[in-house]
């Protein structure tokens, strides 16, 4: 369990030392003073971090599926997923940016795939020119659910990306000696 750091001199609010809003390597002599607007972002990113890590780990496993189609595509998708995971460890906005773009491309791909599959002309059986109604409806339902899940995941990742601190926000945070609070 990581230790907590006090983030406001007049309130009992603490966040993890690993939080990206803790900009200095704090020790017992310092308390981070974080503006109120950033405290909320810091607490929210702390709540979301584990979920985003899990999504990225699952995505790394699923990205290896693309190796079946093309080695370069598989490598690219896997590296973008690894970049997303690494951004949850090092809180690098640049790594998360690549992963967010990858998530949006996944949504676009799923939407186009759903549109393509929903067109009966594209789903005809080659042998007899027909497709069973059950297969067609089940396929559309399944692909719709997958598209909806991808949209939800992308929105969640996008929200996490905007919670990561900018350089300007990091400059707003100060460390003040503990004696100044007593």
Distance of CA 25 to the CA centre of its chain: 25
Distance of alpha carbon 80 from alpha carbon 171, whole angstroms:
29
Angle, in degrees to the nearest 10, between helices 93-118 and 133-163: 160
Give, in order, the Cα–Cα distances in Å from 154 to each of 118, 149, 171: 23, 9, 29
pLDDT for 167:
85
Each residue's pLDDT tens digit, 48-93? 999 999 999 999 999 988 899 899 999 999 999 999 999 999 999 9
Each residue's pLDDT tens digit, 116-174? 888 777 665 544 555 556 567 788 899 999 999 999 999 999 999 999 998 888 888 76
């Amino acid at each position: 369990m990581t230790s907590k750091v006090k983030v406001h001199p007049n309130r009992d609010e603490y966040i993890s030392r690993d939080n990206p809003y803790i900009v200095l390597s704090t020790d017992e002599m310092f308390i981070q003073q974080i503006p109120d607007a950033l405290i909320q972002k810091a607490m929210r990113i702390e709540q979301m971090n584990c979920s985003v890590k899990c999504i990225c780990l699952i995505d790394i496993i699923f990205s290896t599926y693309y190796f079946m189609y093309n080695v370069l595509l598989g490598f690219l998708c896997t590296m973008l997923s690894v970049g997303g995971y690494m951004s949850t460890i090092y809180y690098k906005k640049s790594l998360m940016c690549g992963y967010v773009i990858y998530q949006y491309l996944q949504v676009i791909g799923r939407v186009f795939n759903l549109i393509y599959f929903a067109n009966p002309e594209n789903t005809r059986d080659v042998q007899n020119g027909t497709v069973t109604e059950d297969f067609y409806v089940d396929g559309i339902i399944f692909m719709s659910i997958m598209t909806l899940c991808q949209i939800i995941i992308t929105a969640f990742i996008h929200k996490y990306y905007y919670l990561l601190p900018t350089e300007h926000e990091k400059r707003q945070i100060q460390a003040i000696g503990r004696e100044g609070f007593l």
